[in-house]
């Protein structure tokens, strides 16, 4: 798949944030019970999931438009 610098940087930044949350959760397990930590980690996961679903929907929509136009 073709990509650019933005997509690469964005993907790496998602990995780094998720990795840092995982490391902090492993090093400081008491954070798992903190409401702010639960909201933060859930929000990061939700944003990543939303971006992934949005990307997939855009990909499918563009493919559907090509089929409609190409007929």
Tell me the three state secondary structure of residue 44. Answer: helix
Q: Which residue range is the domain that position 35 belongs to?
A: 5-70
Which residue carries 């492993």 as its tokens?
26
Tell me phi and psi for residue 25, to 5 degrees. -65, -35
Tens-place pLDDT, residues 6-61: 778 888 888 998 899 899 999 999 988 999 989 988 898 898 888 888 888 988 89
Q: Give pLDDT, residue 11.
A: 83
Residue 44 · residue 18 · CB < 8 Å: yes
Task: Using the predicted structure, report yes or no on whether residue 65 has a pLDDT greater than 70.
Answer: yes
Rounded-to-integer distance, Cα 21 and Cα 18, Å = 5
Q: How many domains does the chain have?
A: 1
pTM: 0.65
């Amino acid at each position: 798949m073709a990509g650019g610098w933005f997509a690469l940087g964005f993907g790496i930044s998602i990995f780094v944030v998720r990795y840092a949350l995982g490391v902090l959760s492993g090093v400081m397990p008491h954070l798992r019970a903190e409401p702010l930590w639960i909201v933060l980690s859930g929000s990061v996961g939700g944003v990543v999931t939303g971006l992934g679903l949005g990307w997939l929907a855009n990909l499918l929509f563009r493919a559907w438009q090509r089929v409609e136009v190409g007929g």
